[in-house]
Structure 1
């Protein structure tokens, strides 16, 4: 993995926008990872669930998205909305906007 940038702008987007999600590590230690995620209409494939071994705190800075948990609970997110997803809480992303693209800031905590 390339070294994390020392400075930048979270809203600076590539032109043209990529067809796949882009995960950029901004800061990383053995116990913490901060990353920007850029989504342009992607969703978790049907029948698949994220089941992460670490807690994840995420804030949607731009765009709109829908997060769904395995128990059926759904959370619509807009700019400024954040959520803590505990380790092993199975979830999926059912929707991310294309216009504007979603800009997320995610913080992962490792034991």
Structure 2
């Protein structure tokens, strides 16, 4: 059995990045928890995430906007805002804050 470990989600936040930083915090056969750090990144034009798993995501710091291909209204997320993105709901990151790191916590789970 693994031993307990502790870390801080806000430690070692870079001021700028060439690409989003994704750290897998926990992974089992059915669940994955990631810390994602964005510093102004967004999805490439025309790119849509289309994931096999559902995703619960919360913004802990910074801001971001998610858009959806099915016409669901765009969601601007501020610290504490969270939502569930069902499996195969195509979505994209329209923008993330360029003035401070945006820290996300994402939990992926079976549809």
Query: What is the TM-score of this pair, normalised by structure 1?
Result: 0.89
1:104 matched residue in structure 2: 104
Q: What is the aligned residue count?
A: 107
Measure the CA separation in 1 of the matches of 2:49 and 2:8: 28
Residue 69 of structure 1 aligns with which residue? 68
Q: In 2, distance between residues paired with 1:43 and 1:60?
A: 15
> What is the RMSD computed on CA atoms of the aligned residues?
1.6
> Structure 2 vs 1, CA of residues 16 and 76 (structure 1 numbering), >3 Å: closer, same or farther?
closer
Q: SS state of the match for residue 83, structure 2?
A: strand
In the alignment, the residues of structure 2 paired with residue 15 and residue 96 of structure 1 have an alpha-carbon distance, to the nearest angstrom, of: 14
Partner of 1:51: 50
Asked whether the 8 Å contact 1:30–1:110 carries over to 2, the reply is: no
Q: Partner of 1:10 in structure 2?
A: 9
| 11-20 vs 97-106, greater mean Cα deviation | 11-20
* Residue aligning to 2:83: 83
| Structure 1 unmatched ranges of 5 or more | 1-5
**Unaligned stretches of 5+ in structure 2?**
none
TM-score w.r.t. the length of structure 2 is 0.89
In structure 2, the residue matched to 1:36 is 35
Alpha-carbon shift at residue 15 of structure 1 (Å): 4.5
The answer to which of 10-19 and 58-67 deviates more is: 10-19
Shift of 1:107: 0.2
